[in-house]
Amino acid sequence: MTTTEIQFSQEAQQKVQEILNQYPKEKSKSALLPLLHLAQAEFDGWLSVPVMDYVASILKIQPIEVYEVASFYTMFNLQPVGKYLIEVCQTSSCWMCGAEDIVRYLEQKLGVPTGEISADGMFQVKTVECLGSCGTAPMFQIGDQYYENLTFEKIDAILEELKQENKRSRYC
Amino acid sequence: MSKKLLLANDHIPGINTLEVYRQHGGYKALEKALKSMKPDDIVEEVKKSGLRGRGGAGFPTGMKWSFLAKPEGVPRYLVCNADESEPGTFKDRYLMERIPHLLIEGMIVSSYALGANTSYIYVRGEYFYIIKILQKAIKEAYAAGLLGKNILGSGYDLDLYVQPGGGAYICGEETALLESLEGKRGNPRIKPPFPAVAGLWGCPTVVNNVETIAAVVPIVNISGDEYAKIGIGKSTGTKLISASGHINKPGVYEIELGVPVEEFIYSDEYCGGIRNGKKLKAVVAGGSSVPILPTELILKTAKGEPRLMSYESLGDGGFATGTMLGSGGFIVMDEDTSVVKNLFTFARFYHHESCGQCSPCREGTGWMEKILQKFIDGKATMSDIDLLWDVQSKIEGKTICPLGEAAAWPVAAAIRHFRHEFEEYVNRPESIHDVKHYFRLNNIEEA
């Protein structure tokens, strides 16, 4: 896809306007992070170069201004991701309460190592740093949802439900 | 029961809605502020209250507010720091999820006090469901005339917006947060100028933590003097503590500052003691950045006095024998926990989160992670302990922002208090086993 073929849906375009209204007129670059979240949700959960160029064109800024920001923040994926990106917290309290076992269990269950997308394109496990869920450890996040106080049984049920649902997880 | 000012009503069903929040005294502080107080009166009350920044640094809020420059014709901004990312800390998330209107009321009152007509709440991107909760609550507030033009007929206007972050710990540093809010990489700025003079888009700006802004509501309600009577010494008021790790009752607790640490860990009102009848080994009392303390030093000061949950008591003894209240991220470790491995998770965290601007931090955090990895792999030598000490000592004070210190302090404290454990990793690598906590906690036979 080239930039000219990329366009937000009607709903997303409306959201872009709402977001732009949050800042003084000449400060529209402030909309960059919200717009990247929106773009990621619209275009398969990751930001390709043409998608980033599209965002640059909306904000009338140079593409490099988008690339340097997208590559700085952990939440922006610059490579394709699984339909469900399972982000397992591995810091301190989560580690203490078994995060490594959660990762191992997911790897076994899905049959792919951390970082890789499962053969059916459905799942991808990623380890991440503290998600602010230390009191409900161990946990992972899928899209905008937190799954907390995890046990192997709970994970089985969550994966089953997601397979049934078969929708892309999204933050926006 | 401890005095509660922020979470007194957190258990009430529907308290997240405007209607129920108002039924329980919500927006009384706003009415009082707009109808009977001048902006400077509020600043004065906050000064009298002794409130200190609840994000971690503990700087007096009233003083921070009084630094705000007020040049004619230049807009001022209030930005709420809801980028809660310090490992062990989840109190702001709890507050925003349960009682979003408390933060919104605090934002309106504080914006009025500072003369801001546009304010932002910068929320870490991963808290997306919280962003939705806040947006819904803000919509309710607009509909009820609590936001927008001429609030409650006072002539005061305020627009309040929520801004998502992108997943970067560094954006909890206030100037990095402002950079991010301007649509840039989260690189901290060189200070001065401070945000009070040149902040968001170069305009005078105050950045305050969620809990700090929420605390302005009870301060206006009961007066700064009354607030100052709560707590102990210069640690006035209440503090939200995020308790996690090997305890029976992890969660967010509002404590009156001055509660003994021992009571906080063992009382059923709070953590409820150590899980599975284990013994306490160590505590990281104020989020990942503060020095870890072993049992004997967290329960009592070096002088043998009971250690209290306050800025002064936790700091007693300096870094030699004390720690910091920090963000109130209270991580408890039982006797089976590897301090070295926990430190490794911190080092990996800081390496991942360093913005890369300053060499000592960018390179140093990577070195510390790599050296600690050697310990975990059983490949470290005795000189690696000294190397680790040397690297951490070359970061502190040599960076633009405090992420450098935040990464170095936990390393220094772990070596200071648990050197024997590092030596054990070197002397008996065969004894290293990565405790499978999950199996142990759930009484599952290991495969």
Phi, psi for residue B39 in degrees, rounded to 5 = -50, -45
Type and span of the H or E element at B302: none
Residues of A in contact with B345 (CB under 8 A): 90-92, 95
Check if B254 contacts A (Cβ < 8 Å): no
ipTM: 0.96
Question: Does A134 sit within 8 Å of B90, measured CB to CB?
Answer: yes
Residue among A93, A100, A144 minimizing CB distance to B244 = A93
The token duo for B2 is: 């401890």
Residue among B201, B337, B436 minimizing CB distance to A101 = B436
> B439 falls in which pLDDT band (50, 70, 90)?
very low
Q: Which tens digits make up the pLDDT trace of B386-403? A: 999 999 999 999 999 999
* Cα–Cα distance for residue pair B5/B254, rounded to 1 Å: 8
Q: Which tens digits make up the pLDDT trace of B184-198? A: 999 999 999 999 999
The token duo for B377 is: 């792999």
Check if A108 contacts B (Cβ < 8 Å): no
* Cα–Cα distance for residue pair B345/B373, rounded to 1 Å: 10
Q: Which tens digits make up the pLDDT trace of B323-337? A: 999 999 999 999 989
Distance set, CA B406 to CA A89, A126, B353 (Å)? 20, 25, 11
The topology under which CATH files domain B18-226 is Rossmann fold (3.40.50)
B41 burial type by CB count under 10 A (0-12 exposed, 13-18 middle, 19+ buried): middle
Question: Does A31 sit within 8 Å of B87, measured CB to CB?
Answer: no
Residues of A in contact with B125 (CB under 8 A): 33, 37, 73, 75, 171
Can you give the pLDDT at residue B324?
Answer: 97
Q: What domains appear along chain A, each with residue ranges and CATH number? A: 3-70 (1.10.10), 84-165 (3.40.30.10)
| Residue of B178, B203, B437 for testing the chain A interface, max A β-carbons within 10 Å | B437
Question: Does B337 sit within 8 Å of A132, measured CB to CB?
Answer: no
For the domain made up of B339-428, the CATH class stated in words is: mainly alpha
Can you give the pLDDT at residue B180?
Answer: 98
Phi, psi for residue A122 in degrees, rounded to 5 = -80, -45
Can you give the pLDDT at residue B73?
Answer: 94
Can you give the pLDDT at residue A15?
Answer: 97
> A171 falls in which pLDDT band (50, 70, 90)?
low
> B438 falls in which pLDDT band (50, 70, 90)?
very low
Residues of B in contact with A31 (CB under 8 A): 183
Can you give the pLDDT at residue A69?
Answer: 98
Question: Does B87 sit within 8 Å of A93, measured CB to CB?
Answer: yes
Question: Does B345 sit within 8 Å of A73, measured CB to CB?
Answer: no
Q: Which tens digits make up the pLDDT trace of B279-306? A: 999 999 999 999 999 999 999 999 999 9
> B447 falls in which pLDDT band (50, 70, 90)?
very low
Can you give the pLDDT at residue B364?
Answer: 97
Number of Cβ within 10 Å of residue B197's Cβ equals: 16
Question: Does A98 sit within 8 Å of B164, measured CB to CB?
Answer: no
> A3 falls in which pLDDT band (50, 70, 90)?
low
Question: Does B128 sit within 8 Å of A96, measured CB to CB?
Answer: no
* Cα–Cα distance for residue pair B271/B247, rounded to 1 Å: 6
The token duo for A3 is: 């930039």
B112-130 burial code (b ≥16 CB/10 A, e <16): bbbebebbbbbbbbbbbbb
Residues of B in contact with A93 (CB under 8 A): 87-88, 244-245, 331
Return the CATH number of B232-334, one of 1.10.10.60, 3.10.20.600, 3.60.21.10, 3.40.190.10: 3.10.20.600
Q: Where are the domains of chain B?
A: 18-226, 232-334, 339-428
